[in-house]
A and B are shown apart, each in its own frame.
Chain A
Amino acid sequence: MTDGLIEEVKEVLKTVDDPELPSVSVADLGMVHTIKVVNNQVFVTMVPTFAGCPALDFIKEDVKKAVLELDLVTDCQVEFSFQEKWSTDAITEEGKRQLKKHGIAPPPEDYQPGQQWSVDCPYCGSDYTSMDNVFGPTACRSILYCSSCKNPFEAMKPVVEYIIN
């Protein structure tokens, strides 16, 4: 029964959106680390994307609220762990699809630190793009411009494990 409940929690977390990225769920962003169930109490450990993300407290509340709506759940505790590293590789295919729909180019695949980062336009797919600002409206996004379709757009910055030379 515990396994069933964990599955239910997993499903419901796919419906909790990041407040700063509407329609992209915290599950698809790879922010859910572990789900534990003890006597119908649910414990969710989450991984923050960027450390300075101001939305963490809101996300905590939203996750808790969503989990508590499940029939069998009597209590839910959510915590963010800074001990786990989040990487843009943790974003699911569905997450990438939703990001693109919102005009945010998903992070590059298999990105290595220091590597050149090229971004295709999420609207028209062109690679004729330029970086306006590495820093965008949130810590995890950058601002770019597409010279093909003349649209400004955003992109998720690649964040990957750091290699010490």
Chain B
Amino acid sequence: MTQVETAKDAMNDETYLKALKDILYQLADDDFLISFRGSEWLGLAPHIEEDVAFSSITQNTMGHALMYYTLLEELGEGEADVLAHERGPSERKNAIYFEKKNGEGDYLTEPYYDWALAVVRNFLYESFKKVKLEVLTKSSYTPLANVSGKVLMEQPYHLAHWRIWFNQLYNSTEHAKARLEERLEEAWGQFSDVLELGPHATELEHFGIIVGEDELKERFLKEIESTIGTFPEKPLAKNLGSGREGEYTEDLNQALKTLSEVYRSDEKAVW
């Protein structure tokens, strides 16, 4: 496997470049969207210390998204801010499960958000992120391997946080357990595009940019097994479609409209 050391070298091979850009968009958009959904919880978390913790995780995850957008910037894709704010829903590569609204209502009027969804989704997300980052530290694209190593130094704090929430609620009351199980069932039917690598999956594996989808899935299931015990009976599915293939739901429109509102009010402003 040839190691690609710089953006300039990556740009010499069109097939490599295309596959590389695609996975970088997936990584950036996943982190970006999950942190947007996290930011919508600000001021609404179950208690004040959780508000501090959740927003700290969210802010740091936004920083991780920025690192991937910066790698794309180096590959000639344009400025990170523009990539984050201006791309339309069909251009986004995030998995669809992360688009889902936090619950009923919206932030400004009656946000009846569901904490069970937050716990299940973030636990699954951070578990998946850990296994993906671990394999990416061996990526053939050196700048991506380096960035992944840096993120892995910070991310264990995020994963530990959500694993504790999951365990504590799961082992508390029957009601809490049932609420988590319901959200887990739901996730199981919508999660499998998270583990996919999109239209360039074959090239990504071939070039050693990341391991294949099967290995990724196997590592993910192994990672969550010790926490959730038995998996839901039905197989993992993607009933809402595949975000990696450019599909999206109405919830993504709402997210993009909200998150880019201030940016679009004055696109030339310097922050």
**Is B127 an interface position by the 8 A CB rule?**
no
B185 near A: Cβ within 8 Å?
A: no
Q: Is the interface of A mostly helix, strand, loop or mixed?
A: loop
Among A83, A113, A157, the residue within 8 A (CB) of B147 is A83
**Interface bin, chain B:** 20 to 34
B53 touches A135 (CB 8 A): yes
**Contact indicator A52/B62 (Cβ below 8 Å):** yes
Name the residue of chain A whose CB is nearest to the CB of B61: A52
* Interface membership of chain A positions 110-141, coded 1 if the CB is closer than 8 angstroms to chain B and 0 otherwise: 00010000000000000000001111111100
Chain B, residues 52-79, CB within 8 Å of chain A (1/0): the string is 1100110111111011001000000000
A82 adjacent to B52 (CB under 8 Å): no
Query: Is A164's CB under 8 angstroms from B134's CB?
Result: yes
* Any B CB within 8 A of the CB of A87: yes
Binds A, one of B99-107, B153-161, B176-184: B153-161
Known contacts A83-B147, A164-B137; A136/B56 CB under 8 A: yes
B4 on interface, CB distance cutoff 8 Å: no
A135→B153 contact, CB < 8 A = no
Contact with B154, one of A50, A54, A132, A136 (Cβ below 8 angstroms): A50
- Taken together as a complex, chains A and B put the C-alpha atoms of A53 and B151 apart, in Å, by 13
Q: Which residue of A lies closest to B68 (CB)?
A: A82
- Is A159 touching B149 in the complex (CB atoms < 8 A)? no
* Contact of B256 with A by CB under 8 A: no
Which of A82, A113, A133 contacts B53, CB < 8 Å?
A: A133
What residues on B are CB-neighbors of A20 within 8 Å?
none
Least Cβ–Cβ distance between A156 and chain B, in angstroms: 13
Q: Are B66 and A135 in contact (CB under 8 A)?
A: no
List the A side residues contacting B157 at CB < 8 Å.
134-135, 157
Q: A52-B62, A160-B153 are in contact. List 13 more A-B contacts (CB 8 A).
A: A51-B151, A53-B63, A82-B146, A85-B149, A85-B150, A133-B52, A133-B53, A135-B157, A138-B56, A139-B56, A143-B52, A161-B149, A164-B137
- 13 A-B residue contacts at CB 8 Å? A50-B60, A51-B150, A52-B66, A54-B59, A82-B70, A83-B146, A132-B49, A134-B53, A135-B157, A138-B56, A143-B49, A162-B153, A162-B156
